[in-house]
Amino acid sequence: MSELSKRVITALVLLLLVWGWYFHLVSPWFEAALALIGLVASCEIVLMMKLRNPQVYIFSSAVMWGLFAWSADITWLLLGGFVWFLCFVLNSRQQQASFSDFFAAIWLLSWVYVFTLAIAETHATVVGQSLVIGTCLAVWASDIAAYFIGKKWGKRKLCPAISPGKSIEGALGAILFAVPVAVFCWTLWDVLPIPLAIPLACVVVLAGILGDLSESSVKRQAGAKDSGQWLPGHGGILDRIDAIIMAVPVNWLLWGLI
């Protein structure tokens, strides 16, 4: 089977699974499935960064996500971060460990957790769901536009130290094409009026680009091409949600302020 066929089949299966989970699972099963996604992403982070004694980090992550499934709250991230740093200090007593690798792992874990928290908090209402769906559609439109425009007209590198393939032209194209997608969705579904939807959409698209760069930066730190091998043709869970782990929580926080 070709790589393209694997990507298409995996994408279709994921689409069906996500559709069934997001629109048909109710609490507490919805939160349990969300916690499972977070746990898989956490395992990818630990293994990708090659943290010493990974089983301790994975076990503490399992406890943290179990608590999240019981009650979605930011408290469990603080507790999990405390335990992770304690593990890092204890490992460093016996053999020097890289703090930059640990910091990269904590950085990515924090965004994954806040992303899941935003999904859980917005899922309770139709307006909240519409906000998230519009955000995801805009980010995916941004990825597609950035790829094709960057491939055709990209000349100036956006951030070559992190992701050599991304260009300034691609980023501008992403904003040009993705912002109308978000604005159209949010105004159609009565989430926000146009004067508020436009600036928020610009921030969301920018957050999606930064989220992508954030995961790329961590992978470069780890010397890894993909975050994992869970998804044939797509890499790992983090590779599929890299842009939205920053776009969704940033949008959720700003929407709450508005």
Which residues lie across from 231 on neighbouring strands? 235
DSSP, collapsed to helix, strand or coil, labels residue 157 as strand
**What pLDDT does 164 receive?**
82
Which residue ranges make up each domain of the chain? 3-257
The rounded distance, in Å, linking the Cα atoms of 6 and 67 is 35
Which pLDDT tens digits describe the chain residue by residue (258 residues)?
A: 555 566 767 778 888 888 888 988 888 899 999 999 999 999 999 999 999 889 999 999 999 999 999 999 999 999 999 999 999 998 887 777 788 889 999 999 999 999 999 999 999 999 999 999 999 999 999 998 988 898 888 788 888 888 888 888 989 999 999 999 999 999 999 999 999 999 999 999 999 999 999 998 999 888 888 887 776 666 788 888 888 999 999 999 999 888
Q: Is 50 left (phi over 0), alpha (psi -120 to 50) or beta?
A: left
**Tokens at 245, concatenated:** 């782990």
The pTM of this model reads 0.93
The rounded distance, in Å, linking the Cα atoms of 93 and 52 is 12
